[in-house]
Structure 1
């Protein structure tokens, strides 16, 4: 049997161990080709014998969710493996030993049923524990809110997670509430079939109304705390971001970003690479005046904006996926938070008072 194991070092993230606009760090992918001499054997038993530290329950949950493919077709746990079968499986990573103590932290819940919960995460909240953020995370809040749900009673720091957004990014996250839903959602994020829309305020203007940024993303070879675009494709992971202009302010632009892939800091690093760092993104150079006049009044205006929103101007506005049980497509939206709206209001007022500041208005 040839074992082509996909692994990802995701839990050594450069930010506050909070990942990025993706979820590839939260699941693992195995692809195997069965030996010619393999005798008929149940699929779950076959995989248990060949996958390290993987229980039969995890494999059965993956099969129930349609996340095990044999020769490209979803297979049941009872399927009899045959010689030269090509088996592909996507599963959430096994839970860690770190025990989470539930904390009574308010959550903005957009939707909840027996399989999933949709949360509107506030900026400043870390998704799961990591260096410097051992308490007060979204996972701690979920452990409290879902304390009667079996998956969340074991104190796992990865319970239900299939994707993440940065600490200082606001917006929508979906979390699974059982093993089958977890595996089903994990495959959708792995295959990039989810619907995700972000809103960002970026420095500079664009010649076009929409476009696509393609560039491999990996950890910066010079600064470990940053991600980096490898233009020649020699390193990093394939990443694609589609964008379109929502509102032009001349010196800054409001854009919508659609993720085709989901890499750590993808929107932030892609936009910075194109010369459009996110407004007030300290990590990628957006926390200083990059466009505009040298007048003291303008500098004070920008500083006031930074004070209103002391974080990168990025919000996960929409998320869509196929429901694990109903198999129906579901889409959820989240309005811009108060700090983001306040900054846009200031730019609206600035442009209204100085029409020449917005050349394309």
Structure 2
């Protein structure tokens, strides 16, 4: 038997709603039982709350949704919904170009591009809203004003955002036609084989882990990356690491990260596609460099201004952590 109550609790995070569910017998899996008892919360949402420590049984945190629902009082602390409207924040930006229609910035590693679950503040959108004082294009929607492409949170480098709707439409068309010059610099574990070439695959969600992208035999979307090895670190016959330049012809999620892993040279510092198999000396170099995510930098962005017709090209040097890591690797 199940009873459900909604309470206010000063011990929880401000604004959280605490739902109490009392199970009196065998209810099967916990996440499934809670989803049945709390129909306003999906099973996936409850699994996330359990993983975040927001669910407890008789005051003790529960960490596994697959565990059996035991008799007792479960408490589910549901945080308040995040505002759909991102707030302007006075976050410093490195502006490479700006006019009435668009702005080009050098995004630092660690900054998400737009608000999402867990990243409501501190994003590039929050910074742009403050810097541009409300002049961003609204075509991208409330949460992503002006955004026509994105970089992963831990990928640094050159990005363009639209300030006018005309620029937004024009930039979106350029990206859709792949009529953009985009080159990236990466530091990899080992070196890709062959040292240079083109990777043409289908990319889609991994069937083994839905949080990851993967090269697929069937389905997915076409993904094309040209690459060239610029430097090899360590013995040429058995390199410990390499510096690789990649040029995108498509813009799929995690494209370079997946393609480099597919070539046997995952990016250093990549917690999703390349965390294992790093030699001790390279691991020490990564730790000493201060790198906190994948060693990937958007170094070049070139395009024709969608309103003025001017040819624009921007270059950016890798951030200090990547430069420090490359210097350490060159000494191996």
Query: What TM-score do the two structures reach when normalised by structure 2?
Result: 0.70
Check if 1:302 corresponds to 2:302: no
Residue 261 of structure 2 is aligned to residue 272 of structure 1: yes
Query: Are the aligned partners of 1:104 and 1:145 in contact in 2 as well (CA < 8 Å)?
Result: yes
**Shift in Å at residue 209 of structure 1?**
3.9
Q: Deviations over 1:234-284 (max 9, x none)?
A: 110000010011111121110100001000000001111121111111100
Tell me the equivalent position of 1:134. Answer: 120
Q: Does 1:171 align with 2:150?
A: no
The CA deviation string for residues 64-89 of structure 1, in whole angstroms up to 9 with x for no partner, is xxxxxxxxxxxxxxxxxxxxxxxxxx
Query: Among residues 110, 123, 130, which one is paired with 1:144 in the alignment?
Result: 130
Q: CA contact under 8 A between 1:103 and 1:136: conserved in structure 2?
A: yes
Deviations 1:307-329 (A, max 9, x none): 42121110000001110222122
Q: Are residues 301 and 336 of structure 1, via their aligned partners in 2, closer, same or farther at CA, if it must alter by over 3 Å?
A: same
Separation in structure 2 between the aligned mates of residue 346 and residue 170 of structure 1, nearest angstrom: 20
Distance 1:243 1:311 in 2: 21
For residues 297 and 136 of structure 2, what CA distance do their matches in structure 1 show?
31
| Structure with the greater alpha carbon radius of gyration | 2
Give the aligned partner of residue 119 of structure 1.
105
Summarize the alignment of residues 58-137 of structure 1 with structure 2, pairs less than 5 Å apart: 98-137=84-123
Which deviates more from structure 2 when the two are superposed, residues 161-170 or residues 268-277?
Answer: 268-277
Name the structure 1 match of 2:227.
Answer: 243
Is it true that 1:289 corresponds to 2:270 in the alignment? no
Residues 1:252 and 2:241 aligned together: yes
**Using the alignment, how far apart are the partners of 1:329 and 1:114 within structure 2?**
16
CA displacement at 1:301 relative to structure 2: 5.0
Point out which structure has higher relative CO (alpha carbons under 8 A, 6+ apart): 1
Alpha-carbon distance in structure 2 between the residues aligned to 1:248 and 1:335:
19
Q: How has the CA–CA distance of structure 1 residues 207 and 304 changed in structure 2, closer, same or farther, with 3 Å as cutoff? A: closer
In structure 1, distance between residues paired with 2:91 and 2:245: 30
Residue 78 of structure 1: aligned partner: none
Work out the CA distance in 2 between the residues paired with 1:325 and 1:239: 29
Q: Name the CA distance, whole Å, in 1 between partners of 2:282 and 2:295.
A: 16
In 2: Cα distance, 1:228 partner to 1:277 partner: 13
Match of 2:72 in 1: none
- 1:336 is displaced (CA, Å) by 1.1
Q: 1:140 to 1:206 in 2, by over 3 A?
A: closer
State whether residues 191 and 229 of structure 2, in contact with CA within 8 Å, keep that contact through their aligned partners in structure 1. Answer: no
Count of residues in correspondence between the two structures: 243
1:155 deviates by 8.7
Pairing partner for 1:334 from 313, 316, 321? 316
Unaligned 5+ runs, structure 1: 1-96, 293-298, 351-361
CA distance in 2, matches of 1:135, 1:258: 31
- Are residues 270 and 243 of structure 1, via their aligned partners in 2, closer, same or farther at CA, if it must alter by over 3 Å? same
CA distance in structure 2 between the aligned counterparts of 1:264 and 1:325, rounded to whole angstroms: 28
Offset at residue 148 of structure 1 (A): 4.5
How far apart are the structure 2 equivalents of 1:181 and 1:128? Answer: 19
What's the RMSD between the two structures over aligned residues? 1.8
Partner SS, residue 215 of structure 1: strand
Report the equivalent of 1:16.
none
Cα pair 2:282 2:329 within 8 Å, conserved = no
What is the aligned partner in structure 2 of residue 322 from structure 1?
A: 304
